[in-house]
């Protein structure tokens, strides 16, 4: 499960305790949680950011950089952060099959991620041509309308239960309790 963290959430003094409490309350194993931060959020206070990200990593939480390629980060700083995933911004992905510069940037980000042993995720994939371009250049994970639209947490839970065939009124499992708990805790702060 991936949760986008706002800049306000990320700079909140009680962030680590909020995350720890949400994980404890939900019963979700932290290794199933991915926190998404933006490139610009990483650059605000480098030392504090490294400490927070390392704390998350120590808990087993995966960390991804959302909208990569649109911020102001220096590649020299990128190696300092304990990251797991780079998510290519949709603006590059959506133009990758029609614009040579966007295609070159997309290929470069895929290569950068692979060189740093990071997963790479393409955001904004809406056509089969885009998906084929990405796959041909080594990007195996993609998001967006070609595969399914984003949905609110309650709708996600309903889809999950329907897919598992386990819609059980009044019975909660760790995933069912984790989604609203984690999202509620983090969104309430923002």
Task: List the CATH number of the domain containing 115.
Answer: 3.20.20.450
Kindly tell me if the per-residue pLDDT of 176 is higher than 60: no
Per-residue pLDDT band at 171 (split at 50, 70, 90): very low
Per-residue pLDDT band at 84 (split at 50, 70, 90): very high
Q: In this structure, are residues 110 and 120 in contact, taking their beta carbons and an 8 Å threshold?
A: yes
Q: Which domain holds residue 119?
A: 2-189
Q: For residues 111 and 104, what is the distance between their CA atoms, to the nearest angstrom?
A: 10
Kindly tell me if the per-residue pLDDT of 63 is higher than 50: yes
The 10s digit of each residue's pLDDT in 113-135 is 999 999 999 999 999 999 999 99
Per-residue pLDDT band at 98 (split at 50, 70, 90): very high
Kindly tell me if the per-residue pLDDT of 184 is higher than 50: no
Q: For residues 31 and 125, what is the distance between their CA atoms, to the nearest angstrom?
A: 26
Mean pLDDT of the chain: 83
pLDDT-wise least confident of 5-9, 91-95, 126-130: 5-9
Per-residue pLDDT band at 166 (split at 50, 70, 90): low
Single pTM value for the model: 0.75
Please indicate whether residue 176 or residue 25 has the higher confidence score (pLDDT).
25
Q: Which residues contact 90 (CB under 8 A, 6 or more apart)?
A: 67, 123, 124, 144
Kindly tell me if the per-residue pLDDT of 91 is higher than 50: yes
pLDDT of residue 188: 39
Kindly tell me if the per-residue pLDDT of 100 is higher than 90: yes
Q: Which of 128, 134, 131, 130 is nearest to 109 (CA)?
A: 134
Domain count, the chain: 1
């Amino acid at each position: 499960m991936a949760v986008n963290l706002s800049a306000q959430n990320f700079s909140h003094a009680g962030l680590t305790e909020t995350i720890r409490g949400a994980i404890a309350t939900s019963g979700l194993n932290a290794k199933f949680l991915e926190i998404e931060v933006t490139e610009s959020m990483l650059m605000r206070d480098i030392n504090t950011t490294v400490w927070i990200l390392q704390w998350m990593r120590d808990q087993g939480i995966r960390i991804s950089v959302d909208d990569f390629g649109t911020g102001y980060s220096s590649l020299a700083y990128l190696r300092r952060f304990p990251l797991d995933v780079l998510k290519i911004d949709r603006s590059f992905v959506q133009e990758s099959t029609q614009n040579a510069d966007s295609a070159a940037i997309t290929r470069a980000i895929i290569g950068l991620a692979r060189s740093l042993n990071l997963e790479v995720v393409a955001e904004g994939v809406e056509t089969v041509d885009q998906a084929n371009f990405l796959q041909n250049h080594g990007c195996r994970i993609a998001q967006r309308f070609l595969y399914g639209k984003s949905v609110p947490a309650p709708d996600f839970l309903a889809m999950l239960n329907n897919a598992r065939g386990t819609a059980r009124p009044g019975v909660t499992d760790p995933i069912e309790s984790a989604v609203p708990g984690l999202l509620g805790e983090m969104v309430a702060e923002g």
